[in-house]
A and B are shown apart, each in its own frame.
Chain A
Amino acid sequence: MPIDVEAPVIDNRRLSGEYNVLALAAPGIAAQARPGQFVMVKVGHGHDPLLRRPFSVFEILRDASGTPTGLTILNKQVGVSTSRLFDAAPGQRISCLGPLGKPFTVDPPGEAWMVAGGVGLAPFALLAEVLHARGTAMTLFYGARKAGELFYLDFFAQLGVRLILTTEDGSRGERGRVTGPLEREFAARPASAPVLTYACGPEGMLAAVARVAARADRPCEVSVERVMGCGMGGCYSCVIPVRGDDGQPHNVRSCIAGPVFAGDAIVWE
């Protein structure tokens, strides 16, 4: 059940001139959150900006005994709210509502492949931790514009995640899109080896990953991000077309039916 807390900022770690990781003391949310779920965040109580913004739960913070103490969000500065989150100071309180939405499947029958584009890395730190605890073999396909925008590589490496990196300018890893190496890895795997692919990033990338996985006859889960008003199913703004039992596309609310969907359920535009 979602709760709303005025969470004090514990830490604001700048990753670049645009990206930061904001740690919030929200133990009640952290204790419930599962990989792929999100929180709705608002800085201040004013009416401008008015609405909350959705963020994947990036990491769960724990004390020495393992008890959840808070969570982090991966933020990219793009507008007013994200700029305020980029500039948030420790001690400042931020409204945090969650956890919300349907999580990823965390018991893949075989390997787990995570595909992240840019800020789409957001749900994968927590997923990797949970899968690591299960002993699942993991690969992260991680694409960004340039080398300086590939974050948390040591974190994933320490969890034993195999890293396959791409950048658009070729400054690190393979030049180009992340779907290139994904396609090759699928081709190299015998069809009998079970792989569950998880993807989060721009919708064009999600559509491409879903296509690649479908061609390889592999299951795939994507986490979508649509313009969201409430995160609770109240406003019907965050809809995405999903194929229904009748074979036709129907608009479903990505906040409560998602944000995680089977890649082949979505009717990509």
Chain B
Amino acid sequence: MDLSVQIGSLRLTNPLIAASGCFGYGVEYADSVDLSSLGGVAVKGLFLNPREGHPPPRIVETPAGMLNAIGLQGIGVHRFIREKMPELRARRATVVVNICGSTLDEYVELARILSDVEGVGALELNISCPNIKEGGITFGCSLTGTYDVVNGVRKVTRLPIIPKLTPNVTDVASFARASEDAGADAVSLVNTFLAMAIDVETRRPKLSNIVGGLSGPAIRPIAVRMVYECRQMVKIPIVGMGGIADARDVLEFMLAGATAVQVGTANFVDPFIWTKLLAGLEDYMARHQVARITDLIGALDTGAREKEWTSS
């Protein structure tokens, strides 16, 4: 049974990637989880410099989901390379570095720096964090901004580039297209949905940042639909995410057109989810006699309902 998938020049041993912002820098989990057993580890978003992020409360639970407004707290790219990369290399993790910029130049500089670092497998471009005002989402909500960031980074790196797209736009597929046109190797989607929760007793927002990003099972059907829409629009691989909590959810994204997936919020609930997801995928492949998991990518049968109807 072959679970490996390909994202540009990067081969993943399986399609499961720990989602950025949900797995620290990976090293936090190294004693509990065999990092090399994951398809990839997308580390917490990095700017050039350290950031403190937003004051608490930074998360709040909502039905079948959660809002977060962490504010991209992080140690900056230099400390990451110095303090985290050695262990990630030693644990043989496939590292996807998520980078964030306040300016186009910052993305380019981050890409340039990381291109020379041994063990970096790919760059995920965070142009979609809903929780910070400057940069990031400004690029991700503009087709030309998206094109410019991807194109700028493309010029300085041979690493696979994966822009992470926001769902908070009218037509996410057009952003996937802009990314492809600019030379992206893949796109990942979706980041969180901009959302809000209010304590009616105190009349105060439940997050210090007032608004935050919604993740978890609540968003999964919308995310699957968006992956499906992007699949029609681009040829490059899609990394699907949004509320995946079990192997069937992984398969849903892959059938809709995702080559790989990221798991975020569910890892908070169950840090040992990875072996369960892999076992579930293998069970499905055995039951459906699928030798290569790539055979499932975009294998959605939209004619099925009609066939069932006519054959009965």
Q: Interface residues, chain A, CB within 8 Å of chain B?
A: 1-2, 4, 42, 47-52, 95, 97, 226-227, 229-230, 232-240, 250-251, 256
Contacts and interface: CB of A to CB of B under 8 A. Distances in A.
Interface stretch (B78-86, B269-277, B283-291): B269-277
- Give the dominant DSSP class at A's interface: loop
B244 to A, nearest CB: 12
B70 A48 contact: no
Contacts of A97: 271
Contacts of B174: none
Interface stretch (B54-62, B98-106, B114-122): B54-62
Sorted nearest first, the 10 A-B pairs with minimum C-beta distance are A233-B28, A230-B268, A47-B64, A237-B59, A237-B58, A47-B217, A233-B24, A236-B70, A229-B268, A234-B24
B58 A227 contact: yes
Interface in B17-48: 21-24, 28-29, 31-32, 44
B303 interface: no
B216 interface: yes
A40 to B, nearest CB: 9
Interface of B: 21-24, 28-29, 31-32, 44, 52-53, 56-61, 63-66, 68, 70, 73, 216-218, 245, 265, 267-272
B31 A234 contact: no
Contacts of B64: 47-48, 50
Nearest to A233: B28
Contact of A232 (B29, B68, B73, B218): B29
Given A1-B32, A4-B271, A48-B64, A237 B56 contact: yes
Contacts of B22: 234-235
B57 A50 contact: no
B217 A239 contact: no
A236 B217 contact: no
Contact of B32 (A2, A52, A240): A2
A48 B243 CA distance: 13
Given A229-B59, A232-B28, A236-B70, A50 B270 contact: no
B271 A239 contact: no
A51 B31 contact: no
Contacts of B245: 47
A235 B56 contact: no
B52 A250 contact: yes
Contact of A226 (B56, B216, B265): B56
A235 B268 contact: yes
Contacts of A42: 269
A5 to B, nearest CB: 11
A67 to B, nearest CB: 24
B31 A239 contact: no
B73 A235 contact: no
B269 A235 contact: no
A237 B28 contact: no
24 contacts: A2-B271, A4-B270, A47-B64, A47-B217, A48-B64, A50-B61, A51-B66, A227-B56, A227-B58, A227-B59, A227-B60, A229-B59, A232-B28, A232-B29, A233-B28, A234-B24, A234-B29, A235-B70, A236-B21, A237-B56, A237-B58, A237-B70, A251-B52, A251-B53
Contacts of B218: 47
B250 to A, nearest CB: 16
Given A50-B65, A50-B216, A230 B53 contact: no
B268 A234 contact: yes
Nearest to B18: A234
Contacts of B65: 47, 50
Given A232-B29, A234-B23, A235-B22, A227 B268 contact: no
B267 A227 contact: no
A95 B218 CA distance: 22
A236 B44 contact: yes
Contact of A51 (B29, B57, B269, B272): B269
Contacts of B56: 226-227, 237-240
Given A50-B64, A229-B59, 5 more contacts: A4-B270, A4-B271, A48-B63, A50-B265, A237-B68
B228 to A, nearest CB: 22
B50 to A, nearest CB: 8
B272 A4 contact: yes
A224 to B, nearest CB: 11
Contacts of A50: 61, 64-66, 216-217, 265, 269
A251 B57 contact: no
Given A47-B217, A50-B216, A235 B28 contact: no
A26 to B, nearest CB: 15
Contacts of B63: 47-48
Contacts of B271: 2, 4, 97, 230, 232, 234
A91 B195 CA distance: 39
A45 B22 CA distance: 20
B267 A230 contact: yes
A48 B68 CA distance: 17
A52 B269 CA distance: 6
A232 B53 contact: no
Contacts of A226: 56
Nearest to B44: A236
